[in-house]
Amino acid sequence: MSKCEQCIVREFSSLKALNKDELIKLSDCKTSKIIKKGENIFEEGENVNGIFCIKDGVCKLTKLSPNGKDHIVKLVSKGELLGQRSMISDEPANLSAVALEDMQVCFIPKNEILGFFDKNNQFSMNVMKTICGDLKSADEHMVNMAQKSVKERLAETLVYLHETFGTNTDSTLKIQLSRDELASMIGTATESCIRLLSDFNKLGLIELVGKKIVLKDINKLKKIAD
């Protein structure tokens, strides 16, 4: 089993505050998993009892709305942690985590993490700052949902996907969401999302290469997004 010391997650997440001893303890208690595209890491309402380190891949965090549709709240990728909020609140997961590509994750039991929490101040501070960052962006996101049009939200989301996940060599967006997923990220009907993509395509703002998307005029998209 691989050591945690060189792991990308340790490098980029709250775990960077852990010392050698703590990392060894971590290596001993962790379990690794492969999650295939489309599979759940955990589901809304489930007792998670620990946190997940994402060693590779990207997943979506979704929440079921009362009308039965899933809404994508956030995308989380390589190097990040999952399940911190549930662990601290000592509550079941509020969101489901579903792999958008094949993933490699490690699971660390709650007890272990809570131990670090008590003894390593920098670590708990890091976790708190992460959650505070999540809260800030959730508030911003909420205002966007409430105040912006679907067109603005689509433009904004395309730019976000471009800037956060980058592009392939053919300059298509690296992260590949279905139209349905894109719609559930911006909070609209799938057909409306497809129609707006067509519009953007006709306006030369983007190009549709099969199911993939190329951003042709990021500045104009940013302008539309506000």
Query: Given the rule CB under 8 A, which residues bind a copy of itself?
Result: 63, 65-67, 69, 71, 73, 85, 88-89, 91, 94-95, 118, 121, 124-125, 127-129, 131-136, 138-148, 186-187, 226
- CA 31, CA 141: separation in Å to the nearest integer? 34
> Minimum CB separation from DNA for residue 118, in Å?
45
Q: Does 151 bind DNA (CB under 7 A)?
A: yes
| Binding span for DNA by CB under 7 A among 9-17, 51-59, 144-152, 165-173 | 144-152
Q: Does 179 bind DNA (CB under 7 A)?
A: yes
Query: Are 142 and 215 spatial neighbours (Cβ–Cβ below 8 Å)?
Result: no
Q: Phi and psi at residue 62, in whole multiples of 5°? A: -120, 155
- Among the listed residues 47, 12, 54, 14, the one whose alpha carbon sits nearest the alpha carbon of residue 30: 54
How big is the site for DNA, counted in residues (CB under 7 A)?
Answer: 19
- CA 89, CA 160: separation in Å to the nearest integer? 29
> Minimum CB separation from DNA for residue 145, in Å?
11
Token reading at 188: 């609209």
Task: Specify which residues 107 forms β-bridges with.
Answer: 31, 52
Name the strands in the sheet holding 58-64, side by side, starting at the edge strand that comes first in the sequence: 40-42, 96-99, 58-64, 70-77
Nearer to a copy of itself, 145 or 209 (CB): 145
Q: Does 150 bind DNA (CB under 7 A)?
A: yes
Q: Does 180 bind DNA (CB under 7 A)?
A: yes
Residue 150, contacted partner among a copy of itself, DNA, none, CB below 5-8 A by kind? DNA
Binder of DNA out of 195, 203, 204, 223 (CB under 7 A):
195
Query: Are 109 and 29 spatial neighbours (Cβ–Cβ below 8 Å)?
Result: yes
| Burial bucket for residue 38 (CB in 10 Å: 0-12, 13-18, 19+) | exposed
> Minimum CB separation from DNA for residue 11, in Å?
33
**Residues that bind DNA in the complex, under the rule CB under 7 A:** 149-151, 178-180, 187-192, 194-195, 197-198, 208, 210-211
